[in-house]
Structure 1
Amino acid sequence: MLEPGNGLIRQAEHAHTRCWVCVLSCFLLACVYVGSLYVWRSSLPRDHPSVIKRRCASVLVVSALSPAAVKAWMHWADIRVDVSLWELMGVRMEGFVPAVILPLLLTMVFYLGPLVHSALDNPDDFTMEVQSSLDVHSWRLCLGDAVWLRNQVVAPVTEELVFRGAMLPMLVPCTGPTAAVFVAPLFFGVAHFHHIIEQRRLHKDSMSVILLVAGMQFLYTAVFGAFTAFIFMRTGHIVGPVLCHSFCNSQGLPDISSALQHPQRTALLFAYVMGALLFLVLLFPLTDPFFYGAIPVCSLAPAPPSVC
């Protein structure tokens, strides 16, 4: 007969092993995602249409296989839940409409400053962009643009499905929901280091400049990854992170230095500050699980569920 102390030791060892399985599964999935970009040998730059098409095909295959990776992890880690695999990964119908609208609205609020900046500098272009976003013909033209298709569709869908939809369910049982929001983006940030290889191959900059740019890219991709991970954990949907990712790709990083030198600097800075403040005020209300129903991934969380 086992003594109680031995039972506790075995439980601790099992939990430790499960955590290693979680971390290694996420690491391997990130490696496979990045590695799929390099199965095609080419001397052409990354923005060449043929390179984009091949890489899009590769990451689409990896993202399509990511549910199998989560299923295998559940088997190895001995995880049993009462919801489907797709629901764990954020593909579900309950609360779908709020999940489409509210996280995207929250992201647009954060970009209030850059949007006002764009409207002041190029009012005609800004109006045309708004009109084209509602025009079916414009969407058809965009779908024929390989760079647009990669940045606005394929990258957001595949990266969110792999780095949020697949990794967060694997991390939550080990780290808990709150820590998972900050751990998962590390894999996402590190995955972008592969740009160092391409920059070095093309000899565009010195190694010190390349590393500096890579470090900055890691920082903002990790911060952005934490935001979309938070959205995923609070809503239980993958569609919100995908749309937020696509919108942020279309806008780029806020150009605060340009705003500081703008003739209408006061109005612009007010818009930037108001956008940031409104974002913080609305962050929890617009992601309240009340709008989205029970969050499937939270069923994996050890008590207390915190972020969930």
Structure 2
Amino acid sequence: MLTWRNIVAGPLTKKLLFRTSSVPLFLLSPLPVSRIIFYSPVIFGLAHVHHFYEFRLQNPRVPVFAALLRSVFQFSFTTLFGAYATFVFIRTGSLLAAFAVHAFCNGMGLPKVWGRVERLDGRGSGLAWTVGYYTLLVGGAVGFWKELWALTEGGNGLVPRSAFGR
């Protein structure tokens, strides 16, 4: 049930509530698209602040400061991801595309960005796995950045391409 919530129900309801309601309203304002991409997700990020309360209920022995730091990180991450989802929605005009990137993100989780990658069987040092993993991680990030505009190009964008200053 948790998987269904995280990969289907959560992303779909958030896209319906936040993307399809807040973004068109922002687009009617005189704000430049770049600001809309960064303002709209603040609402999205605030929608995740309730996790602080949930975490405190489930982990009452964790210090409030640690729980607060966790929530600040989660707010920052969801706001940053919300900017990406808003960008995808505005560029493609597709709720399905924004839903797909959100569902994929929730399914994959945060990547490991430090430490050694261990072999599944626990044998050996895992050095080759670690080098391979970080090579793919960096290569994927570079490829994503270089192809972001091409991968979100389409004829159904909510604003003309010139609105992005490109």
TM-score normalised by the shorter chain: which range applies? 0.7 to 0.9
CA contact (8 A) 1:177 1:307 kept: no
| Mapped partners of 2:24, 2:107: distance in 1 | 28
| TM-score, L = length of structure 1 | 0.47
In the alignment, is residue 285 of structure 1 matched against residue 141 of structure 2?
A: no
- Residue correspondence of structure 1 range 1-308 to structure 2 within 5 A: 146-174=1-29, 175-202=31-58, 203-259=60-116, 262-264=126-128, 265-289=130-154, 293-295=155-157, 297-298=158-159, 305-306=163-164
Following TM superposition, by how much is the alpha carbon of 1:209 offset from its aligned partner in structure 2, in angstroms? 0.8
Following TM superposition, by how much is the alpha carbon of 1:176 offset from its aligned partner in structure 2, in angstroms? 2.6
Structure 1's unaligned 5+ residue stretches are 1-145
Following TM superposition, by how much is the alpha carbon of 1:270 offset from its aligned partner in structure 2, in angstroms? 1.3
The percent identity for this pair of structures is 30
Residues 268, 160 of structure 1: CA spacing in aligned structure 2 closer, same or farther, 3 A cutoff?
Answer: same
Specify the SS of the correspondent of 2:150.
coil
Residues 245, 307 of structure 1: CA spacing in aligned structure 2 closer, same or farther, 3 A cutoff?
Answer: farther
Following TM superposition, by how much is the alpha carbon of 1:281 offset from its aligned partner in structure 2, in angstroms? 1.0
Segments of 4+ in structure 1 off by > 3 A?
258-262
Following TM superposition, by how much is the alpha carbon of 1:152 offset from its aligned partner in structure 2, in angstroms? 1.0
Deviations 1:229-253 (A, max 9, x none): 1100100011011011111111100
Following TM superposition, by how much is the alpha carbon of 1:268 offset from its aligned partner in structure 2, in angstroms? 2.0
Q: Which amino acid aligns with 2:18?
A: F
Q: Which amino acid aligns with 1:169?
A: P
CA contact (8 A) 2:89 2:95 kept: yes
CA contact (8 A) 2:88 2:97 kept: yes
| TM-score, L = length of structure 2 | 0.85
Please state which structure has a larger fraction of its residues in helix: 1
Q: CA RMSD in A?
A: 2.0
Q: Which amino acid aligns with 1:148?
A: T
Deviations 1:139-174 (A, max 9, x none): xxxxxxx11110111001001121212111111222
CA contact (8 A) 2:94 2:156 kept: no
2:122 is aligned to none
CA contact (8 A) 1:178 1:307 kept: no
Q: Which amino acid aligns with 2:127?
A: P
Residues 286, 176 of structure 1: CA spacing in aligned structure 2 closer, same or farther, 3 A cutoff?
Answer: same
| Mapped partners of 2:16, 2:61: distance in 1 | 32
| Mapped partners of 1:204, 1:151: distance in 2 | 26
| Mapped partners of 1:271, 1:200: distance in 2 | 36
Residues 294, 243 of structure 1: CA spacing in aligned structure 2 closer, same or farther, 3 A cutoff?
Answer: closer
Larger Rg: 1
